[in-house]
Structure 1
Amino acid sequence: MSARILVVDDVIPNVKILEAKLSVEYYDVLTAYNGPDALKIAFDVQPDLILLDVMMPQMDGFEVCSRLKKDPRTAHIPVIMVTALSEATDRVQGLEAGADDFLTKPVDDMSLFARVKSLLRLKMMMDEFRLREETSSEFGVISMSDRKEEAIQRARILVIDDNKFSVTQIKEVYAQIYDVTIEPDMNLAQEMLQTGDFDLAVISLDSANFDPLRLCSRIRTVDETRHLPILTLVDDGDKDKLLKGLDLGVNDYVMRPIDTNELIVRTRTQILRKQYQDRLRYNYHRSMELAVTDSLTGLYNRRYMSNHLEALLHRAKFDYKPICVMIIDIDFFKNVNDTHGHGVGDDIIKEFANRIGMSVRGIDLACRYGGEEFVVVMPDTDLSVASTVSERLRRQIADKAFTDAKGSYELDLTCSIGVTVSQEKESPDTLLKRADEALYTAKRDGRNRVAVNAANVVSFEKTPGVAFN
């Protein structure tokens, strides 16, 4: 997972050490030696993560973090505070300033990379939702400023812990603020999480009766709980378990003996983040239904695709990640409408859209471009991957006949696909034009094939033979 990381520390050797460690893992590292410079770089460059020292002259890390989180341009950037301070009060102060986590000097490599990877995964997911919300807001369907205050008092927490003393302590901390459910059995807890509307799972990593890491893994692999925040309670000797948990997708942790203030602040942070994610998802789905989906297929429409592609290309100017586009056309589709009528044609279009959805990846954006033409936008993808996905889709169309439940028709259809990849300073129009040129080549030279346009040089990735209808 490549990313741009800003390292901030007034001690040059500390900066160089972190820069070297991160560079070995192929991260793009930026550096700053004081708070004001760090803020300027963060505003100008928009890094994916900030490693921020606490004790600095001019402006300490708490103030820098607070300013970052108050500015809409940088509020979404994860901040890890790196400090020699180890008191719980210092951690609480940093968390209240908006920090996502703490690392204590000297920084342990395993802890560093576990936290970096965990927060980068979270940011990638949040960026995708934020980008789609921004795209939708341009249509006037939702308002970016219409943000209600999150009511954390109504939040529901499930605590999975079989330690009676620990459970009693947690209940006392949460009792006046949250709706808390205690469940010591892992299997019952998992069932409750899948059927209940919880905002946070608190899991003890020190259990005699169940494997807490197995539970964390199950939570992350089930659709109903995939995005549920997980806060773990960790004993000092369970460092290996903690690191494995962070790798599995644990969001945060509190060390035992539990500091009440730290538990309250970390809990509140996770719940607010969960409610923010829920709002993004709700606005996204609501706006898609109202403004940016094709009524026949349920795919995105051309208008949304154009705006989303433009936003992706703008972002690519900063992260240099390629974007592939494929244009798909059903071969000889006019014959279907002329022979069987537009009702059958509409059924074919809907089934074709379903097969596209099964062939592309979750991060790809599929849309109905018009008539029997479709477009798939593939972010952070090179031509070899896009060509493989395109060929898989071509085979799914050609290898299985289109029919209805009554068996009133059975049609063997094929499709032609043009694929291209973004170039430096690309515009949506030129990118789509090159994909369309590749599609034209595929149709001209026999149909039922994938043609690739790389830097205006068209070639065939796959040539299955003579097209048929």
Structure 2
Amino acid sequence: MSQSILIVNNVATNRIVLNVKLSAAQYTVHQAHSGAAALRVLRTNSIDMVLLDVDLPDMDGTRLCRNIRALPRSKNCLILAAMENEPLDKKKEIMAAGADDYLQKPVDDKILLARVRRLFRARAAETELQLRDGTAQALGFAEAAASFQGAAHISVVAGDRTARDDWRASLQEFSNHRLEGLSRCDALSQESPELAPDIFVISARDTEETFGLSLLTELRSNPNTRHSGIVVVLPYENHNLSAIALDMGADDLVYEGFDPAELSLRLNVLIDRKRQNDTLRQQVRTGLQAAVTDQLTGLFNRRYAMPHLKRIADRAKRTDQSFAVMILDLDHFKQVNDQYGHATGDKVLAEVAKRLRDNLRPFDMVARFGGEEFLIVMPDTPLHQAKQAAERIRKLIAKDPIEVPFQDSSIHVSTSIGVAVGSPPHRSTFDVQQLLNDADSALYDAKAEGRNQVTLARGAAA
């Protein structure tokens, strides 16, 4: 279904022209001649964007924005306001009332459509992040803790050093954020997303006409700067590049000779949006981490371990390399819980997990498979190495008692380990479920034979 746009304008010819332009771009268009008429449309239709003229016969644009945001059905729709060259206070007012962006009249058709597309792209990205975060919360993952929001980091980038120094100085008068001037090379040399500027203000004027636009595409394709906000400063004589800049990924644009106070307003809007999206991304990452991690031990959980084991098996098939699967179970762990309590049992599990993590190779996988059972997968490991590794693990767990806070004595634990190996040329042994079954059977054999020992799967031992 196409996205729907409500045109709110009291001049019939303006509505007709906009209707033709937006319909040709495959949007579903609704029209209203006044604020009251617009609210009636919004109450009965699902509208994705309101394109409104602030000069209406019955109410001004600020009041209409507030009324739109008060409607449950339209509180999340986009609002793009068109206005004359109003004072900065009026622009701040309409943004505070709920507008997502504003345009100065008369509006160029190409720039209007480009800004509409940009707003829809930005909203789609935000919605996707919100959906993922909602899924994470529905699964019970905690939200990321709110953090103090200090001054933002803004970089002004221009080939002409005098221009970037002047822009930085003029913006600093109206901003409490940290501003710096950068060359193109410096802008592209960001070491990490965390250290990259929140916003780039980049000039499109240089010896090459497309300096800023080529830099724009490079910043968007760089993983360290792809989520930074980008404002392009265009020479006014090249205003025909405006729509191209927006479609290439600019979040906003201004022209040389810009009002630094107005640009500061736009920068503040971008900073707020970026911080909201950064928070959502962090919450999604936190949720994904929680989805694959056992909270008690910090190890991977079964949800992660099974597909990862399958990938290791598939790689082993392609490379004709052996890999080992071990299932490890703590001996008589129920007695620990019964004698010392579950809190102490949790401490024991966490310490065992740490010993496993600290004594395996970085590319080996260790996961808590359930209860007091752990899964270890060792790529590129033949049978004799797997047996040696299992014996080493068994000894290091049994050797040193586990010190538990608030207990008078330390706790000795031991472990039984079942080992199975997938190895060429018997490619049938690469079957993941069969290997798990074999390792599990070997584990039961180890327990039946007295515990605190390593047993190889019968096929492997043979």
TM-score (norm 2): 0.59
Structure 1 counterpart of 2:354: none
Summarize the alignment of residues 68-467 of structure 1 with structure 2, pairs less than 5 Å apart: 68=68, 74=74, 76-83=76-83, 85-87=84-86, 89=88, 90-142=90-142, 148=146, 151=149, 153-161=150-158, 162-174=160-172, 177-183=176-182, 185-192=183-190, 194=192, 196-208=195-207, 211-291=211-291, 295-296=301-302, 298=304, 347-348=309-310, 405-406=380-381, 408-409=423-424, 410=427
Alignment CA distance shift 1:17-1:94 (3 Å): same
**What displacement does 1:58 show?**
2.4
SS in 1 for 2:189: helix
Question: Structure 1: how far apart are the matches of 2:217 and 2:97?
Answer: 30
Match of 1:207, as an amino acid?
D
Asked if structure 2 preserves the Cα contact closer than 8 Å seen for 1:193 and 1:225, the reply is no
Q: Deviations over 1:239-263 (max 9, x none)?
A: 1222211110100122332213211
Alignment CA distance shift 1:194-1:139 (3 Å): closer
Structure 2 counterpart of 1:466: none
Question: Structure 2: how far apart are the matches of 1:24 and 1:81?
Answer: 21
Asked if structure 2 preserves the Cα contact closer than 8 Å seen for 1:9 and 1:53, the reply is yes
Alignment CA distance shift 1:137-1:9 (3 Å): farther
Asked if structure 1 preserves the Cα contact closer than 8 Å seen for 2:292 and 2:303, the reply is no
Asked if structure 1 preserves the Cα contact closer than 8 Å seen for 2:196 and 2:225, the reply is no
Alignment CA distance shift 1:73-1:206 (3 Å): farther
Asked if structure 2 preserves the Cα contact closer than 8 Å seen for 1:163 and 1:207, the reply is no
Asked if structure 2 preserves the Cα contact closer than 8 Å seen for 1:49 and 1:78, the reply is yes
Match of 1:133, as an amino acid?
D
Gaps of 5+ in 1: 300-342, 354-402, 415-469
Question: Structure 2: how far apart are the matches of 1:86 and 1:226?
Answer: 32
**What displacement does 1:11 show?**
2.6
The size of the alignment, in residue pairs, is 316
**What displacement does 1:59 show?**
2.0
Asked if structure 2 preserves the Cα contact closer than 8 Å seen for 1:95 and 1:266, the reply is no
Q: Say which one has the larger Rg.
A: 2
Alignment CA distance shift 1:181-1:239 (3 Å): same
Match of 1:295, as an amino acid?
N
Gaps of 5+ in 2: 294-299, 316-377, 382-421, 432-462
Alignment CA distance shift 1:8-1:240 (3 Å): same
Q: Deviations over 1:256-287 (max 9, x none)?
A: 32213211110100000000000111112212
Question: Structure 2: how far apart are the matches of 1:298 and 1:167?
Answer: 50
Q: Deviations over 1:267-310 (max 9, x none)?
A: 100000000000111112212332588934549xxxxxxxxxxx
Structure 1 counterpart of 2:455: none
**What displacement does 1:73 show?**
6.2
**What displacement does 1:22 show?**
1.1
> Is the counterpart of residue 35 in structure 1 residue 35 in structure 2?
yes
Alignment CA distance shift 1:119-1:261 (3 Å): same
Structure 1 counterpart of 2:339: none
Question: Structure 1: how far apart are the matches of 2:22 and 2:429?
Answer: 53
TM-score (norm 1): 0.59
Match of 1:202, as an amino acid?
V
Match of 1:182, as an amino acid?
G
Match of 1:225, as an amino acid?
T
Asked if structure 2 preserves the Cα contact closer than 8 Å seen for 1:229 and 1:270, the reply is yes
Asked if structure 2 preserves the Cα contact closer than 8 Å seen for 1:154 and 1:179, the reply is yes
Q: Deviations over 1:102-129 (max 9, x none)?
A: 3344432211211111111111111111
**What displacement does 1:30 show?**
2.4
**What displacement does 1:164 show?**
1.3
Asked if structure 1 preserves the Cα contact closer than 8 Å seen for 2:92 and 2:265, the reply is yes
Structure 2 counterpart of 1:400: none
% same residue: 28
**What displacement does 1:138 show?**
3.1
Asked if structure 2 preserves the Cα contact closer than 8 Å seen for 1:76 and 1:123, the reply is no
**What displacement does 1:70 show?**
7.0
**What displacement does 1:149 show?**
8.2
Structure 2 counterpart of 1:378: none
Question: Structure 2: how far apart are the matches of 1:352 and 1:33?
Answer: 64
**What displacement does 1:130 show?**
1.4
Asked if structure 1 preserves the Cα contact closer than 8 Å seen for 2:156 and 2:164, the reply is no
SS in 1 for 2:231: strand
Structure 2 counterpart of 1:359: none
**What displacement does 1:27 show?**
1.1
**What displacement does 1:229 show?**
0.8
Question: Structure 1: how far apart are the matches of 2:215 and 2:91?
Answer: 28
Match of 1:197, as an amino acid?
A
Q: Deviations over 1:9-33 (max 9, x none)?
A: 2233322221221111211222333
